[in-house]
Chains A and B, each alone.
Chain A
Amino acid sequence: MIELAGVSCSYGEGDVLSCVDASIPRGEAMAVIGPNGCGKSTLLKLLNGLVLPRQGTYRFDGEEISAARLKDPRFAKRFHQRVGFLFQNPDAQLFCPAVQDEIAFGPRQMGLGEEEVARRVEDCLQLLGIGKLRSRVPYHLSEGEKRKVALASVLALNPEVLVLDEPMNGLDPRMKRFLRGILLSLNEAGKTILCSTHDFHYIDGVFRTALVIGEEHRVVRIGPYQEVIGDEAFLRAQNIL
């Protein structure tokens, strides 16, 4: 579903991602791990088309994701509907006056009828256990609640791929366990999940594959999640543990 071939990215000076090759099949649950500043967030932005390769190609479902392709608004909108992104900072993602408007924002744009929009909003509120927040102003919620609202607003679009940038940051243990359960359910439901994280304890059992980016901004290992996480010497050498 996602093919990266020799992808390098830069923000002007030096590569923040260098020669990344990866193949991610539909329904995969992949953890993107690495030390701070290695390029994890850039990789996730690349997968969403926010950053484009300086070199190499990124193919999504066989189509190359390039500046020219994303200039086609219909293609770009369909692509953004299929790939949902949960930002590291949930504040950046919430701009509607109430939680229910936030969740309804995407479905309304998709032209769904008000009944279907209301059903999706209600389902997302219940799925994430935030029914009581429906009329609250998103900005004034707690960090964990904001993250749940942001996730609900992404899920309401029914994306095929869910990209999450450090979703466990700032959450208390109960919230982390809750999020783990949601990720498991979504992956079992067929969603492809790509997630950067440092919180290995709380995401145990969610991921099948781990992609490790080293301090040199290159992919240093892709393999079964349990095998990678069990290799303590490797993780220490990569400044991950």
Chain B
Amino acid sequence: MPVPAWLLKDEAYLPRADREIFVDRSILSLLAVLSKARSHGGTGEEGRRTEPLVKLVSVFVVLLLVSLTRSPFFLGVAGTGLLAILALQPAGRIAQVLKTTLAAGAFTILVLLPSVFWGRGGHPALITVKVLLSVASVRLVSTTTVWATVPGAFKRLGVPDLFLLVFEVTLKYIHLLGEFALAMLYALKLRSVGRNPGKAASLSGIAGTLFLKSKEMAEDMYEAMECRGFTGEYPAAGRPSLGLREAALGAAVALLAAAFFFLGA
């Protein structure tokens, strides 16, 4: 068939204004998630330095002690230690940790504010400090750990294989499906050349395609894993690499545990 006449002429088209805020914001949010996924994908050398197993155990102990204590002195000691570790981090990471921590702290204060007016003066402050310490320590571990190394650490801790499989597949698919969703939103943006009265329909179309794609990818991956001899058992990770950093972190946590008993639970 010959090229139709309208394709041979330049389009005399003046677009009408339309709001694209939702698509633009969705693109920005997805870019932020993908950027985070990439930054946890193994590019940061400092993330590899401390053994993830030691970090996971340490943060678990810290969370346990902080949640059990009722001593402001102990919380002061824990907070000082955490601040010291945080101070050794690069500025960008400090900002990341503080941003989440302060947001969680502010939210806690907001939730606990009514109890202050009901005469429970000391407890809200204690709970807020506990939240700040807990969130900061978890955020510190999450920002310094390469995500791909976490399943290995979980395996050594005896976490069930099924959980590890789901965890690892989730990490992988955040990236893959995120990239695909981003491409679809870009396509929608590029093809939104005028006023689109059916934005909701377009977005639900994207969601539907994304669902079908995820199902297809999951099936493909399961078949590929079966072909490679996967029997449902997660391979045991190699020996953890323990060095000076791990010893220092272990000693700090041991001191914290001692402080817990000496300063009172």
Where the two chains meet, the residues of A that have a C-beta atom closer than 8 Å to any C-beta of B are 12-13, 45, 48, 50, 73-74, 77-78, 80-82, 84-85, 87, 89, 91-97, 105-106, 108-111, 119-120, 123, 126-127, 129, 139, 153-155, 157-160, 185-186, 188-191
Contacts and interface: CB of A to CB of B under 8 A. Distances in A.
The DSSP consensus for interface residues of chain A is helix
B38 interface: yes
A164 to B, nearest CB: 13
Which of B13, B188, B208 gathers most chain A CB within 10 Å?
B13
Contacts of A80: 189-193
12 contacts: A12-B39, A74-B16, A77-B15, A78-B193, A80-B190, A85-B190, A109-B196, A110-B13, A110-B194, A123-B7, A189-B3, A189-B7
Given A110-B193, A123-B4, A189-B7, A91 B213 contact: yes
Interface of B: 1-4, 6-11, 13-20, 35, 38-39, 43, 180, 183-184, 186-196, 202, 205-206, 208-209, 212-213
A139 B212 contact: yes
Contacts of A78: 13-15, 193
Contact of B205 (A50, A77, A96, A155): A96
A43 to B, nearest CB: 15
Given A109-B195, A185-B3, 18 more contacts: A12-B35, A12-B39, A74-B17, A77-B15, A77-B18, A77-B194, A82-B11, A91-B213, A93-B183, A93-B184, A105-B202, A106-B194, A110-B194, A119-B6, A154-B191, A160-B11, A185-B2, A189-B7
A50 B190 CA distance: 9
A73 to B, nearest CB: 6
B205 A120 contact: no
A134 B195 CA distance: 24
A95 B192 CA distance: 12
A191 B3 CA distance: 11
A81 B4 contact: no
Contact of A158 (B11, B43, B183, B190): B11
Nearest to A12: B35
A93 B9 CA distance: 25
Given A95-B206, A95-B209, A96-B205, A111 B16 contact: yes
A123 B6 contact: yes
Contacts of A48: 190
Contact of A13 (B2, B10, B19, B43): B43
From B9, B39, B202, B205, name the one whose CB has the most chain A CB atoms within 10 angstroms.
B205
A146 to B, nearest CB: 11
Question: Closest 10 CB pairs between A and B?
Answer: A109-B194, A95-B205, A92-B183, A77-B15, A123-B4, A81-B193, A93-B187, A189-B3, A158-B11, A110-B194
A97 B205 CA distance: 7
B203 to A, nearest CB: 8
Contacts of A91: 180, 209, 213
Contact of A111 (B2, B189, B195): B195
B38 A12 contact: yes
Contact of A127 (B1, B10, B19): B1
Contacts of A139: 209, 212
A12 B1 CA distance: 46
